Amino acid sequence: MSEPTENRTAEQSFLTRAYNLSTVDDARALYDEWATTYDADLADHSHGWVAPAIAGAALLNFFKKAEQDRRGETLDILDAGCGTGIVGAALAKQPFAKNRKLQIDGIDLSKGMLDVARKTGVYRNLEEADMSKPIPIKDQSYHGVICVGVLTQGHVGPGVLPEFVRVVKPGGCVVATVREDIWETGGYRREIEGLEREGKVRMLRASSEDSLRGMSIKMKLVVVLKK
């Protein structure tokens, strides 16, 4: 009868470490170690991790209304910080994804996480990338970028947002979740407003949503249009 308690203790330890990361090397080590149990841990109903579903719906709703959808062309999507592939797998299961030939690439810091994501079979390409540095992707490579659970305490800072915009085609979008308690103090709001002033994007949405519902953790769901 001790195994569930032991599993929960290990899971809580990973979560605690995740919210106290301070270096890229620490993050890589944590997620490599956590990779094999990450999906099961986050799927625990006590957490209520609804961020992937909410962000994925926002991305698909954008394209349902966009000109790309009316033309029926293949949509290239970058899952930035894809982890074990939870977001990509959820997107690929949607009827819209099948009807509109969604092609998903993923990048992540952790090789261990990418190894798990590869087993989902939903990604075209998966590559290691440190998003605290410029992303090694050409300008205007994607119709959309989705980033869930990465812009949070001790992870990736607001400097990645211009990179997301850079790799998106004009008329495309960036959908990102930002932990609500650092939305302003962490400089994420300021970064997006700066991109708006420069005429690079238009912010369509920055709503307060549940992220880890069971832990009462909120997020800002951000949707921006690339001009």
What's 202's domain CATH number?
A: 3.40.50.150
Per the CB < 8 A criterion, the answer to whether 151 and 160 are in contact is yes
pLDDT at 183 (0 to 100)? 96
Q: Is residue 206 included in any domain, yes or no?
A: yes
Note down pLDDT in tens along the chain; length 227 residues: 334 444 445 555 766 666 666 677 777 777 778 777 777 776 666 677 899 999 999 999 999 887 555 566 789 999 999 999 999 998 988 877 767 789 999 999 999 999 999 999 999 999 999 999 999 999 999 999 999 989 987 678 999 999 999 999 999 999 999 999 999 999 999 999 999 999 999 999 999 999 888 778 899 999 999 99
pLDDT at 114 (0 to 100)? 96
Q: Is residue 200 included in any domain, yes or no?
A: yes
C-alpha–C-alpha distance, residues 114 and 83, integer Å: 6
Edge-to-edge strands of the sheet including 217-226? 123-128, 102-108, 75-80, 142-151, 168-179, 217-226, 201-212
The DSSP line for 175-227 is EEEEEGGGTTTTTHHHHHHHHHHTTSEEEEEEEEEEEEGGGTEEEEEEEEEE-
Q: Is residue 118 included in any domain, yes or no?
A: yes
Q: What is the value of pTM for the model shown?
A: 0.86
Q: Is residue 11 included in any domain, yes or no?
A: no
Per the CB < 8 A criterion, the answer to whether 72 and 186 are in contact is no
DSSP state of 94: S
In the numeric block, which tokens belong to residue 209? 């949503």
C-alpha–C-alpha distance, residues 209 and 219, integer Å: 5
Q: Is residue 122 included in any domain, yes or no?
A: yes
Per the CB < 8 A criterion, the answer to whether 90 and 122 are in contact is no
**3-state SS class at 47:** coil
pLDDT at 3 (0 to 100)? 40
pLDDT at 1 (0 to 100)? 34
If one counts the domains in the chain, the total is: 1
Domain of 93 in residue numbering reads as: 51-226
pLDDT at 2 (0 to 100)? 34
Q: Is residue 28 included in any domain, yes or no?
A: no
C-alpha–C-alpha distance, residues 30 and 28, integer Å: 6
Q: Is residue 135 included in any domain, yes or no?
A: yes
Q: Is residue 15 included in any domain, yes or no?
A: no
